[in-house]
């Protein structure tokens, strides 16, 4: 199975893309390009939110923490308000991390679709 056939098998909406008119291909390509841009922007925003939360936790603990060491620090701290805030931040980091994983998957899908459509457009223009 070729790379193109494999892509079409996993993305049924592009199964007949080779038969599309150049105008329809270009419109789909623009849509996927827009999806790539929007998803990259979303990823940057989510990564920024995670960094801000980790910095907030580091400020609470008084030393640099990571999302992996956050729970250890939360267990060590006796101040219940700080513990609650650290736990809240940890849960929010996990939620945002899950959103980041989903966004990266969407980015991969958009990028593959964009590249596939670009290849077809190039072949039609030859």
In 3-state terms, what secondary structure has residue 24? helix
- pLDDT tens for 35-56 read 999 999 999 999 999 999 989 8
Residue 12 carries which DSSP code? G
- pLDDT tens for 6-35 read 777 778 888 888 888 999 999 999 999 999
């Amino acid at each position: 199975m070729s790379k193109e056939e494999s892509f079409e098998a996993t993305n049924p909406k592009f199964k007949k893309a080779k038969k599309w008119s150049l105008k329809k291909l270009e419109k789909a390509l623009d849509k996927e390009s827009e999806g790539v841009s929007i998803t990259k922007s979303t990823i940057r925003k989510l990564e920024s939110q995670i960094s801000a939360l980790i910095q907030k936790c580091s400020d609470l603990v008084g030393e640099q923490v990571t999302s992996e060491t956050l729970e250890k620090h939360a267990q060590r701290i006796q101040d219940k308000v700080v513990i609650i805030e650290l736990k809240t931040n940890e849960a929010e980091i996990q939620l945002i991390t899950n959103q980041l994983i989903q966004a990266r998957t969407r980015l991969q899908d958009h990028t593959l679709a964009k590249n596939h459509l670009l290849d077809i457009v190039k072949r039609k223009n030859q």
